Amino acid sequence: MKSLLSMTDLSLEDIYGILDLAAEIKEKRNQGKITDHLRNKSLGMIFEKSSTRTRVSFEVGMNELGGHALYLNSNDIQLGRGETVEDTAKVLSRYLNGIMARVYSHDTLVKLADNATVPVINALSDKEHPCQVLADLLTIKEYKNRISDMKFVWVGDGNNVCNSLMLACAIVGMEIVVACPKGYEPAEEFVAKTRELGGVLTITDNPLEAAKDADILYTDVWVSMGDEEEEQKRLKDFEGYQINEELIAVSKPDVIVMHCLPAHRGLEITAGAIDGPHSVVFDQAENRLHAQKAVLLKLMVLDE
Distance from C-alpha of 298 to C-alpha of 240, rounded to nearest angstrom: 41
Size of the site for ligand NVA (CB under 6 A): 9
Closest approach, Cβ 220 to ligand NVA, in A, equals 5
Distance from C-alpha of 133 to C-alpha of 220, rounded to nearest angstrom: 12
- Which residue, among 178, 213, 211, has the nearest Cα to 194 in the 3D structure? 178
Does residue number 51 form part of the binding site for ligand CP (CB under 6 A)?
yes
- Which residue, among 260, 276, 277, has the nearest Cα to 268 in the 3D structure? 260
Does residue number 54 form part of the binding site for ligand CP (CB under 6 A)?
yes
Q: What is the largest CA-CA distance in the chain?
A: 55
**Closer to ligand CP by Cβ: residue 85 or 124:** 124
Question: Of the ranges 21-29, 73-81, 153-161, 197-205, which one interacts with ligand NVA (CB under 6 A)?
Answer: 153-161
Sequence ranges of the binding site for carbamoyl phosphate: 51-54, 78, 102, 129-132, 260-261, 288
Long-range contacts of 225-234 (CB under 8 A, 24+ apart): 225/49, 225/50, 225/124, 226/49, 226/104, 226/126, 234/157
Near ligand CP by CB under 6 A: residue from 260, 263, 289, 297: 260
> Could you say which of ligand NVA, ligand CP, none residue 224 binds, taking C-beta under 5 to 8 angstroms by partner kind?
ligand NVA
Distance from C-alpha of 200 to C-alpha of 210, rounded to nearest angstrom: 14
Question: Of the ranges 28-36, 48-56, 64-72, 234-242, which one interacts with ligand CP (CB under 6 A)?
Answer: 48-56
Give the footprint of ligand CP on this chain (CB under 6 A): 51-54, 124, 132, 260-261
Give the footprint of ligand NVA on this chain (CB under 6 A): 124, 159-161, 220-221, 224-225, 260
